[in-house]
A and B are shown apart, each in its own frame.
Chain A
Amino acid sequence: MSDFLSVRDLVREYPQGETPLPVLRGINLDVREGEFLVIVGSSGAGKSTLLHIMGLLDTPTSGAVLFGDRNLTTLSEREQSRLRNTLFGFVFQFFHLLPDFTALENVLVPAMVGVGPLAWARRRKDAAERARSLLSQVGLSARLTHRPGQLSGGERQRVAICRALINTPRVLFLDEPTGNLDSRTGQEIQELIEGLNRRDRQTIVMVTHSDTAVKRASRVVRIHDGQILKA
């Protein structure tokens, strides 16, 4: 048994007529602290589904997600939400920023979750400071008050990464983060992510099709037909 994040006998089926459609059929996977885990597989293999379940966004049909010796799948919805906020960070292929908020605000929103207005008034300054420093680390100090609509794809993805990092997550999930970017920008984002792992020992679980990412990964698993093929 791993003492970090792991999944056991994970099954996910989608209801579909008489016989349910199985997408994941018995996945076992250990994520080690500080590693750069890359998940590859053909389109529709179930990579995103696995990532969502590990990140408590989706619930498995059976099986368990464990963190240390805690079974996260049986926790209450509130408790799971709290863990999504504090334990995990997500970055998606389509950036998924809140369009009505500026870059800085987008990064700050996760820091506000679960904090009362009074506590926030006290904490706001520090949080904003941290958000600004994260954004400037990815070269966006001049873009703080821009809305997502005013940013390029690469810039948006950087904001999304900062947002995922604001609460110092234990695990950072990335679902094809460069999939929607041109190759040069994708390369930059790729290097940014690698840097996080190398410099900050950030645990990373990333789904990608990029060969360079596969080369730099500490470990690669391949999903085929809802199961893990040993690479």
Chain B
Amino acid sequence: MYKLFVAFRYLTRNWLNLVGVAAVAIGVLVLVCVLSVMKGFDEEFRNRLRATLSDLIIEPYSEETFAGYEEMIAQIEALPHVVACAPRYDGLALIRVGKSRRYGEFQGVDLPREVKATDFGQYWRAWRGRAAREKLAEIARENGGDLAGVPRETLLDLLNRMRAEDFALLPKDLQARAARWAKENTVDLTAARRAAESAQPAWTPTDDPRFSPAFAGSELLVLGQSRDGKLVSLNIGDEVVVVSATDVFDGRVIRRCRIAGAYRSGLHDYDARTICLPLEDVQKFMGRPGHVTSLNVRLDSFANAPKVRALLMGILTSDELGRGIEMLRGIVGGADADLRRMETRLRELRAQEGNWWATGDFTVVVATAEIETALFRKIGAILRGEAGVKPSAADLEKMRAFQKAGMEREQGGIARKFRISTWEDKRRTFLRAVWIERRIMGFILFFVILIAGFLILSILHTTVLSKTKDIGILKSIGGSVGGIMSIFMLNGLLMSTVGAAIGAGIGLLIIKNINAIQDFLERLAGFSLFPKDVYYLDRLPVDKDPAMSILTICVISILVSLIASAYPAWKASRMDAVEALRYE
């Protein structure tokens, strides 16, 4: 008990110790805040990158398109974990907007199914809500903050397009004013919001058969900037021309479209280059009715992607392969060379699966097929009695069952002749960049903790030097070498624990109130620290569930400090008590 007592007293009675506490607190604070914002950005960035990709994307290997997709969709939707499946007809395109030409992509989508299988509908709604929000703010400004003079229809239309989230993002005073206006004019805001939330994108039909309705990415519509700085863009009903570049060698296919709406995913490349048309129109003008280029499959959770992919391809998952190998090991023994080879390959495969960013999607599938082949060949050999082992009847039964299950899986593979990627596979390079960046940032930030560690080391060293006499006294009243060592280790531990707790606490307060802090700073600085047009975000994103990362940061900083305390503490424990006690 004296150790804790003495260590705690040193902490509170020594201003240097308090400096150590502050150092750890600042280190932890910086780490908590920076990592939290970075993680928030990452989440945001992942969503952006994903744009309208669903969990699994099924494409043919070599042909551009395939037919018979309706049956496939029905089969796929019957699989476990599958929520929805939507067909698409994508192609490279030249797009003429106004007088300029852009290269990009056209996407033939089946809207009702598309909104179920991808986030397409979300971007549509978000975009409409944002436009409505901005428009309302503009109107309020023009009218000097007063909404009374604005025509009822205009306001109603704007409010009807706003979801609860959009409404909450309005400036506080505007929210209050809009609410007051709604009350005075007996408009039910909740009903309006519900309507906005359930609004789905819809093609505005064009009566002219020469045109298709089209949704354009928000950036695609921007033609340029006028001299007074305003953006000039296309509007609903304007014409764009889509030229299929995919079939440029077979003769150009041209389709004229009218803008029926726009969407914004936040991924610039996507929003600037993509134009969506009704699937049937695309099939017709490409001359391939009943054909699509890909199927998009949404799952209940992305974590189930490997499982569903294995089902679709008719191959076993790595877990199932592992079970098969385990079974064989019980029959032929662990020393079997074939088995050893399979185990090695499986281990490599598992490492790859955990590191999709480092290897590649398809190597995983190829490796799985390879192990599977080897496994079944081995089972076949044993069953034919060529392997030189005499399995028991029960083992034979087990192997036959495994073989049968494998065969059934293979035959049940709905998309055996297709390439199946996850959305992460599709965006591998970007995701990898983000991942590496985050690692590097974490590594750099770790130095902050390291510096705090060094500070603790030197502070403790100074403390030890100034407490030589105390060490002698403590030994004379029964303190052992271990006891003295613990006192200074505890001193370091207290410094880092108290510091980490303070830092984590303040950090948590900051990230929970990041928006208020941002507002305050912006008012102070007089300009937007976080321009919407640069980031497409209204708010600094933060990690919504920071408990785990805060805990990690605290544990690491405490560990580092503990390591830093070890040397001074050891030094202290070796001090000669007699020497310290001999003199004044």
Asked if B583 and A94 sit within 8 Å, CB to CB, the answer is: yes
From B5, B476, B482, B578, A84 is in contact (CB under 8 Å) with B476
Q: Is A117 an interface residue (CB 8 A)?
A: yes
Q: Nearest Cβ distance between residue B460 and chain A, in whole angstroms?
A: 16
Q: With A52-B578, A57-B578, A96-B581 in contact, do A112 and B1 touch (Cβ < 8 Å)?
A: yes
- Interfacial chain A residues near B581, Cβ < 8 Å: 52, 57, 92, 96
- Interfacial chain B residues near A109, Cβ < 8 Å: 2, 5-6, 474, 477
Interface residues in A76-127 (C-beta closer than 8 Å to B) = 77-78, 81-82, 84-86, 90, 92, 94, 96-101, 105, 109-110, 112-117, 119-120
Asked if B477 and A85 sit within 8 Å, CB to CB, the answer is: yes
Asked if A100 and B9 sit within 8 Å, CB to CB, the answer is: yes
Asked if A110 and B1 sit within 8 Å, CB to CB, the answer is: no
Q: With A78-B482, A109-B6 in contact, do A115 and B477 touch (Cβ < 8 Å)?
A: no
Identify which of B30-38, B57-65, B465-473, B563-571 touches chain A. B465-473
Interface residues in B1-21 (C-beta closer than 8 Å to A) = 1-2, 4-6, 9-10, 13-14
By beta carbon, the residue of chain B nearest A109 is B2
Q: Is B388 an interface residue (CB 8 A)?
A: no
Q: Is B99 an interface residue (CB 8 A)?
A: no
Asked if A82 and B4 sit within 8 Å, CB to CB, the answer is: no
Q: With A94-B583, A117-B1 in contact, do A81 and B479 touch (Cβ < 8 Å)?
A: yes
By beta carbon, the residue of chain B nearest A123 is B1
Asked if B1 and A96 sit within 8 Å, CB to CB, the answer is: no
Q: Is A58 an interface residue (CB 8 A)?
A: yes
Interface residues on A, range: 20 to 34
Q: Nearest Cβ distance between residue B434 and chain A, in whole angstroms?
A: 47
- Interfacial chain A residues near B9, Cβ < 8 Å: 100-101
| A75 and B473 alpha carbons, distance in the complex (Å) | 21
| A99 and B467 alpha carbons, distance in the complex (Å) | 10
Asked if A96 and B476 sit within 8 Å, CB to CB, the answer is: yes
| A20 and B583 alpha carbons, distance in the complex (Å) | 23
Q: Nearest Cβ distance between residue B295 and chain A, in whole angstroms?
A: 65
Asked if B4 and A117 sit within 8 Å, CB to CB, the answer is: yes
Q: Is B130 an interface residue (CB 8 A)?
A: no
Q: Is A48 an interface residue (CB 8 A)?
A: yes
Q: Nearest Cβ distance between residue A172 and chain B, in whole angstroms?
A: 13
Q: Is A158 an interface residue (CB 8 A)?
A: no
Q: Is A156 an interface residue (CB 8 A)?
A: no
| A52 and B355 alpha carbons, distance in the complex (Å) | 64
| A27 and B480 alpha carbons, distance in the complex (Å) | 27
By beta carbon, the residue of chain B nearest A78 is B480
From B14, B469, B479, B481, A113 is in contact (CB under 8 Å) with B479
| A119 and B473 alpha carbons, distance in the complex (Å) | 23
Q: Is B483 an interface residue (CB 8 A)?
A: yes
Interface residues in B436-485 (C-beta closer than 8 Å to A) = 469-470, 472-483
From B13, B475, B477, B577, A163 is in contact (CB under 8 Å) with B477
Interface residues in A43-59 (C-beta closer than 8 Å to B) = 48, 52, 55, 57-58
- Interfacial chain B residues near A101, Cβ < 8 Å: 9
By beta carbon, the residue of chain A nearest B477 is A110
Q: Is B584 an interface residue (CB 8 A)?
A: yes
Asked if B483 and A112 sit within 8 Å, CB to CB, the answer is: no
- Interfacial chain A residues near B583, Cβ < 8 Å: 94
- Interfacial chain B residues near A94, Cβ < 8 Å: 583-584
Asked if A81 and B475 sit within 8 Å, CB to CB, the answer is: yes
| A85 and B478 alpha carbons, distance in the complex (Å) | 4
Q: With A94-B584, A96-B469, A115-B1 in contact, do A81 and B476 touch (Cβ < 8 Å)?
A: no
From B1, B13, B470, B475, A120 is in contact (CB under 8 Å) with B1
| A58 and B482 alpha carbons, distance in the complex (Å) | 17
- Interfacial chain A residues near B13, Cβ < 8 Å: 100
- Interfacial chain A residues near B474, Cβ < 8 Å: 98, 109
Asked if A57 and B2 sit within 8 Å, CB to CB, the answer is: no
Q: Nearest Cβ distance between residue B258 and chain A, in whole angstroms?
A: 79
From B479, B578, B584, A58 is in contact (CB under 8 Å) with B578
| A110 and B475 alpha carbons, distance in the complex (Å) | 10
Q: Is B582 an interface residue (CB 8 A)?
A: yes
Q: Nearest Cβ distance between residue B243 and chain A, in whole angstroms?
A: 80
Asked if B4 and A84 sit within 8 Å, CB to CB, the answer is: no
By beta carbon, the residue of chain A nearest B13 is A100
| A78 and B486 alpha carbons, distance in the complex (Å) | 14
Asked if B478 and A98 sit within 8 Å, CB to CB, the answer is: no
Q: Nearest Cβ distance between residue A46 and chain B, in whole angstroms?
A: 12
Q: With A77-B481, A109-B6, A113-B483 in contact, do A57 and B1 touch (Cβ < 8 Å)?
A: no
Asked if A57 and B475 sit within 8 Å, CB to CB, the answer is: yes
By beta carbon, the residue of chain B nearest A166 is B477
From B1, B2, B6, B478, A82 is in contact (CB under 8 Å) with B478
A-B contacts, 15 of them at CB < 8 A, read A57-B581, A78-B482, A81-B475, A81-B479, A81-B483, A84-B476, A85-B477, A97-B473, A110-B2, A110-B477, A112-B2, A112-B5, A113-B477, A113-B479, A180-B584
| Top 5 A-B residue pairs of the complex, sorted by shortest distance between their CB atoms | A85-B478, A81-B480, A112-B2, A120-B1, A110-B477
Given A58-B578, A96-B472, output 9 extra A-B contacts at Cβ < 8 Å: A52-B581, A81-B479, A84-B477, A94-B583, A96-B469, A109-B2, A113-B2, A115-B1, A180-B584
Interface residues of B (CB under 8 A from A): 1-2, 4-6, 9-10, 13-14, 469-470, 472-483, 577-578, 581-584
Interface residues of A (CB under 8 A from B): 48, 52, 55, 57-58, 77-78, 81-82, 84-86, 90, 92, 94, 96-101, 105, 109-110, 112-117, 119-120, 163, 180
